Amino acid sequence: MASDVQEPTTTYDEEASPYGELRLDLPALTALLDGDYAEIRAKVREGLVEYASVLEDAETMTRDEFRERVKDVVLELAATGQTGMGFPEEYGGGGDIGASIAAFETLGFGDLSVLVKVGVQFGLFGGAILQLGTKRHHDAYLAGLVKGEILGCFAMTETGHGSNVQALGTTATYDPETQEFVIQTGSPAATKDYIGNAAKHAQLAAVFAQLVVGGERHGVHALVVPIREGDTVLPGITITDDGPKMGLNGVDNGRIRFDGVRVPRDALLDQFAQVTEDGQYVSEIDNANRRFFTMLGTLVQGRVCVGAAGISAAKVALTIAVEYGLRRRQFEATQDDREEILLDYGMHQRRLFPLLARTYALHFGQQVLTTQLHDIFSGVNTDELARRQLESRAAGTKALATWHATRTIQECREACGGAGYLSENRFTALKADTDVFTTFEGDNHVLLQLVAKGLLTDYASDFEDLDQFGMVRFVAGLAVETVLERSRAHKLLEGLRDAFGSDKWDQDTGLLDPNYHRAMLEFREEHMIGGVARRLKRGIDAGMNPGEVFSRVQDHVVAAARAHVERLVLDAFLDAVAEQPDGDLKTVLNLVCDLHALSSIEADRAWFMEHGRLTSQRSKAISREVNELCRRMRPVAGDLVRAFGVPREMLRSEALLSWGEE
Amino acid sequence: MASDVQEPTTTYDEEASPYGELRLDLPALTALLDGDYAEIRAKVREGLVEYASVLEDAETMTRDEFRERVKDVVLELAATGQTGMGFPEEYGGGGDIGASIAAFETLGFGDLSVLVKVGVQFGLFGGAILQLGTKRHHDAYLAGLVKGEILGCFAMTETGHGSNVQALGTTATYDPETQEFVIQTGSPAATKDYIGNAAKHAQLAAVFAQLVVGGERHGVHALVVPIREGDTVLPGITITDDGPKMGLNGVDNGRIRFDGVRVPRDALLDQFAQVTEDGQYVSEIDNANRRFFTMLGTLVQGRVCVGAAGISAAKVALTIAVEYGLRRRQFEATQDDREEILLDYGMHQRRLFPLLARTYALHFGQQVLTTQLHDIFSGVNTDELARRQLESRAAGTKALATWHATRTIQECREACGGAGYLSENRFTALKADTDVFTTFEGDNHVLLQLVAKGLLTDYASDFEDLDQFGMVRFVAGLAVETVLERSRAHKLLEGLRDAFGSDKWDQDTGLLDPNYHRAMLEFREEHMIGGVARRLKRGIDAGMNPGEVFSRVQDHVVAAARAHVERLVLDAFLDAVAEQPDGDLKTVLNLVCDLHALSSIEADRAWFMEHGRLTSQRSKAISREVNELCRRMRPVAGDLVRAFGVPREMLRSEALLSWGEE
């Protein structure tokens, strides 16, 4: 595909460049991006090519046919072992959590119904059995579900409660007489809803319900409930179809209602709490709130996976748009007799390259996250604080990565014009299928508030009232504790002064100095978190209703969390670049990292000016530099997307990508 | 629907408000929005309700079935007269261009395949016959096409040329022997592509081709070419289907190739140029470029319509999201025993209300545009400058309105969570169908460059080289001439000084003073246009290739055009508010206009700070004020969306909008 790509017609003043002439070793870059799991990624890529026809099936088949097709592909993939990498080897899994994330991430280049069905079966359902269940559940289900012989669903969300899952309405009441739990859907709002695999294929459901023992409520717990035998829905259970969705129509989402459904006592996934034969509730974790968040915390892998999938989808979109931009010509611009290559237009570079740079940044941010997940869930790292940080980071990265996917896919579609609107060119599926990524596995705004809660824990003693009334419920969904040390504020600013020898680091440092980029993002993060804490305290002190105080400060809360995650992502990218040996590859990565950092600062330059960290002159200089970096990137843009290693078959776009071959 | 809406639980310090207690007369606001054409709008709303089932058909029917269904609906609408309002009465039309836009705009609440099929048949095809043809074409086709007995398509775009239509590859060569034109598709890139109505239903095509007479090329002209009789494609013509698209699948887009297709001499739509029997080319407009843009200029109505449709789609999305936000509760926030209404959260208000305010602004901007279109095409206004301004304004408004639609629909979907992802809740169709609005009838980036060209004409003498080499081709597509007077810069700044008594208007005026809002947007516009001109001149003077200069300045060019249109939109809103008599309605409109103006300034506050028109303190004050305005708007938000008058049936969303009714 590289052969017909056009050299840029614009020329540069090479002497003014800190990068010199760019040379890129494509296989080396691909190897760097693939990281430790190149082998499993290669295997998944092969599978993607083998089942490439599923991309077209999504358009041509009826919904019913496509659901069956997707199920079949998932089962065939399961047979190869690539979907079970995260399960223990004794149950037929691969015993490698990092590999399972890498496999899932790579699967995100292909049809996303397949991806989500894999996520539901192995990540959500399988994850619930593995993490919340104990040996008897593992023995009963894991081998079968890894092979795809047992299909299950994850029945948490209800029509009335998606974000506030602590308030679920379904109940599981223990009947000591029969030693059974009775599952009951209460009001219509307590109907399990949007449940993947429920409408057609699942035999079992991991049902989250308020556990009631001896008349006492103990909060939300999960139980394994058979819902179907063959195609027959079991008595007491009503399943309806969620109907056509914007995308992911190969996944059979449905609604489940339970009316007095009885399951044996050992259906309770009892890793964190047990009910004895005679109806005693027992848990090592006394605090109900803490117990709930501990349970949820073990399911963090789902969020890690959704973020990874968002980044992969953005890579596919960028690959198509950049390759097209390298071929397609429009308007005679620099020459009289030949139209100009789209990607030689400054505006076209501006539209695509900062998104490309950010995709690289998120890739490295995601890699750090995956490593942390692997280390903690493999027992390499047993530190409790590290676990809390992982949960926070997973939530924040998921939010940033999925919003990035939505935005990038949209911009890439527009950059491909009317051709981008034809389904054969993949944007149709990418847009429709990824749209819900910003919502499922946690609404992005709720997730960022969760991140903020962790950051604010330092300040918690300043406003206990708020914690009591507001924060806990606002940011429910997962426990995130101290992420920043109490003393972090001072350390940070001291670090900045040390690094630059004065407090004027924001003016003295060169625009391309990575220390400048890091310092800017750290300053913003710290200042925003402190600002939110002060605003909350002020409102509480003034006697306002804590809920209303929170509501008024909510945009600052979300902004602070975002600033935190942005800093984590930049750190990951800077660290990855720093680890590279000097050479061509490092030079190119430096350029991409500079563009990401500066375009990030540019995007929020108003804030930096408002807070005295950016003069208007320097702000304008940053915008000029971003344009310059885009021009610098132009000669390597093609290889930068090729390094993602999206198989050609996943791009489709025959007509789009045959420009220049005439 | 209003009965079950919740009163806000937050309380306000009413004394601090310049608005006092808000009261809204819903019918009066609806009447204001409906304007002069309330009657035709009411008629269209009735039709929408009558054919409401088409919204569901889009999901349940096959593509072939749905195309037929959409055609049938279009024909039935045609029979009522509401799609032909813009055609002369002697041919069965309504003779009222303003009414035709109002009807189309209202039709935008419904299924958008129906809308686009109407646009293709009556706006594009019918418009070409009406505007580019002469009496014999009118007599032959208009009555039939108004009734829907003659279906046609508009064959301009080619696979290789969508934006640069002056470079189309199809040729129409005059053969004096037979007095025929021979239509020929050249290379594959010259295939007519994405042509609505072409794949299935059109009998005729208005074909745009390079006219060749006596071996000489005269540029692009339009001819009427029969392409189909019944279901049979005529000899020499090859039509293929564009296949599944992201949306609008009720419209049969296709590709057309012509191989030596002969049409009689009078097939040429000869309003602006004729070919005599003996093969002489005659035109009153000598300059080929000017002739081409004059022809295209008569088709401006298409852009006006797409902008209007984008605004209507945004209204539908906002109606659903706001009504849902008024009913749905999540998390106990201010009370211990009851969850909070979504729309009482500050962040939720922040996400939706500035978009709602902007929708109002664009509505009034669009109304001014429609009036201008009506006056010029009805002969009320014959001023040539006014025509150029109309073309510029139509291009710019289309760009802003359609981007706004994309953004608003996305935000509204996310604000409705997972439920927004189910097709029954309309966001699926709204997203998929409107996506191409940013591309068709002119790519938004190209359109804004076109607007910029008009603004830069003042400065043209400063860089003739650029005009020769670059600008003309970059911004081709429609001629736009002097929009701003040469002396405008000085007038503007003088006006500002007069209005505020000093040059410190940017600090002395209250944040809610409409003069402040107007002055800020005027300053930005003027400064940006001058800045682009200076940058272009500097590059040319330095001896750079004009095309490359343009490429480097392109982001400034687009920003300047956007600033211009933003100012026009605000002006329209301010004027509409000023025209209102004092009273409750004016108070509410003032609030909405303030929110639009301040959130617009806030969105670009970095630029204002960089250019010395905003201190960091005042910038922060604006953000606080935007939050405050959102809180103020909360009690009337429901009525603000209800005033759009979107029929209940067009919202669907039964489950979403039944919250609070349990």
Flag whether B208 is in a domain: yes
What amino acid occupies position B583? G
Same domain, A495 and A614: yes
Helix, strand, or coil here: B232?
Answer: strand
Q: pLDDT digit string (tens) for A328-355?
A: 998 887 777 888 899 999 999 999 999 9
Closest CA to A601 of A534, A509, A531: A509
First to last CA, chain B: 14
* pLDDT at site A584: 94
Cα gap B631→B653, rounded to integer Å: 26
DSSP B268-293: B--SS-EE-TTS-EE-S---HHHHHH
Flag whether A135 is in a domain: no
Cα gap A481→A391, rounded to integer Å: 9
Flag whether A229 is in a domain: yes
Q: What is the mean pLDDT of residues A605-612?
A: 97
CB B472 within 8 A of CB B480: no
Q: pLDDT digit string (tens) for B13-49?
A: 444 456 667 889 999 999 999 999 999 999 999 999 9
Same domain, A372 and A261: no
* pLDDT at site B338: 87
DSSP A71-118: HHHHHHHHHHTTT-TTS-GGGT----HHHHHHHHHHHTTS-HHHHHHH
CB A93 within 8 A of CB A123: no
Look at strands A329-332 and B180-184 and give their pairing: unpaired
To test the contact with chain B by mutation, choose from A59, A158, A289, A330 the residue with the greatest count of B C-beta atoms within 10 A, namely A330
To test the contact with chain B by mutation, choose from A112, A158, A163, A246 the residue with the greatest count of B C-beta atoms within 10 A, namely A246
Closest CA to B447 of B303, B305, B550: B303
Find all residues with CB under 8 Å of B660, minimum gap 6, and list them. B4, B5, B6, B326, B327, B328
Same domain, B490 and B606: yes
Flag whether A2 is in a domain: no
| Chain B residue numbers touching A558 (CB-CB < 8 A) | 347
Cβ B554–A350 below 8 Å, yes or no? yes
Strand partners, B181: B174, B263
Q: What is the mean pLDDT of residues A488-512?
A: 71
To test the contact with chain A by mutation, choose from B610, B630, B632 the residue with the greatest count of A C-beta atoms within 10 A, namely B610
Same domain, B456 and B431: no
Domain carrying residue B287: 153-292
**What would the two tokens of residue A649 be?**
């078959």
Closest-CA residue of chain B to A557 = B347
Flag whether A474 is in a domain: yes
Cβ B432–A246 below 8 Å, yes or no? yes
- Minimal C-alpha gap between B195 and chain A (Å): 11
CB B168 within 8 A of CB B220: yes
Q: pLDDT digit string (tens) for A126-138?
A: 999 999 999 999 9
pTM of the model: 0.94
pLDDT band at A467 (very low <50, low <70, confident <90, very high): very low
Residue B474 has its nearest CB partner, among A333, A422, A440, at A333
Residues in chain A: 662
* pLDDT at site A533: 83
Residue B291, phi then psi, degrees to nearest 5? -65, -45
| Chain B residue numbers touching A547 (CB-CB < 8 A) | 333-335, 340
Cα gap B331→B327, rounded to integer Å: 13
Cβ A555–B435 below 8 Å, yes or no? no
Same domain, A96 and A233: no
* pLDDT at site B385: 87
| Chain A residue numbers touching B545 (CB-CB < 8 A) | 334
Last residue of a domain, one of B230, B257, B292: B292
* pLDDT at site B545: 83
Same domain, B240 and B92: no
Cα gap A625→A512, rounded to integer Å: 9
Cα gap B600→B569, rounded to integer Å: 11
Q: Is the pLDDT of residue A567 over 80?
A: yes
- Minimal C-alpha gap between A35 and chain B (Å): 34
Strand partners, B180: B175, B264
Q: Given phi > 0 = left and psi -120 to 50 = alpha, else beta, which region is A647?
A: beta
Same domain, A282 and A223: yes
Q: What is the mean pLDDT of residues A492-509?
A: 71
Strand partners, A443: none
Last residue of a domain, one of B245, B276, B292: B292
The residue behind tokens 């211009």 is: B564
Residue A195, phi then psi, degrees to nearest 5? -80, 115
Same domain, B283 and B310: no
To test the contact with chain A by mutation, choose from B245, B347, B659 the residue with the greatest count of A C-beta atoms within 10 A, namely B347
Residues in chain B: 662
Flag whether A145 is in a domain: no
Residue B548 has its nearest CB partner, among A164, A334, A413, at A334
Radius of gyration of chain A (CA): 26
DSSP A198-223: TTTT-SEEEEEEEEEETTEEEEEEEE
Find all residues with CB under 8 Å of B400, minimum gap 6, and list them. B307, B362, B365, B562, B565, B566, B569
The residue behind tokens 């079991």 is: A234
Average pLDDT, chain A: 90
Same domain, B432 and B452: no
Closest CA to B47 of B659, B483, B649: B649
First to last CA, chain A: 14
CB B248 within 8 A of CB B433: yes
CB A106 within 8 A of CB A119: no
Low-confidence ranges of chain B (pLDDT < 70): 1-20, 458-497, 499-502, 661-662
Same domain, B193 and B173: yes
Buried b (16+ CB within 10 A) or exposed e, B6-28: beebbebeeeeeebeebebebee
Cα gap A234→A254, rounded to integer Å: 15
* pLDDT at site B525: 92
* pLDDT at site A558: 95
Cα gap B25→B5, rounded to integer Å: 17
The residue behind tokens 């789902």 is: A302
Looking at chain A, the whole-number percentage of residues with pLDDT higher than 70 is 90
Sign, Cα dihedral of A416, A422, A425, A427: positive
CB B282 within 8 A of CB B208: no
Cβ B410–A413 below 8 Å, yes or no? no
Buried b (16+ CB within 10 A) or exposed e, B107-145: bbbbbbbbbbbbbbbbbbbbbbbbbbbeeebbebbbbbb
Closest CA to A440 of A162, A97, A199: A162
Cα gap B294→B304, rounded to integer Å: 17
Same domain, B477 and B564: yes
Size of interface A-B (CB pairs under 8 A): 235
Q: Is the pLDDT of residue A442 over 90?
A: yes
- Minimal C-alpha gap between B139 and chain A (Å): 34
The CATH number given to whatever domain includes residue B89 is 1.20.140.10
Same domain, B494 and B416: no
Distance of CA B553 to the CA centre of its chain: 25
DSSP A310-324: HHHHHHHHHHHHHHH
For chain B, how are helix, strand and coil distributed in percent, rounded to 5? Answer: 60, 10, 25
8-state DSSP, A422: B
* Total domains in the fold of chain B: 3
Closest CA to B584 of B32, B27, B23: B23
ipTM of this model? 0.93
Give whole-number Cα distances, A155 to A123, A127, A258, B542, in Å: 13, 13, 11, 67
CB A405 within 8 A of CB A314: yes
Flag whether A8 is in a domain: no
CB B656 within 8 A of CB B320: yes
Residue A610 has its nearest CB partner, among B445, B473, B619, at B619
CB A180 within 8 A of CB A265: yes
Flag whether A287 is in a domain: yes
Q: Is the pLDDT of residue A14 over 80?
A: no
Angle value at C-alpha B642, between B641 and B646, nearest 5 degrees = 95
Cβ A347–B662 below 8 Å, yes or no? no
A277: exposed, middle or buried (C-beta count within 10 Å: 0-12, 13-18, 19+)? exposed
Q: pLDDT digit string (tens) for A620-633?
A: 999 999 999 999 99
Last residue of a domain, one of B391, B415, B438: B438
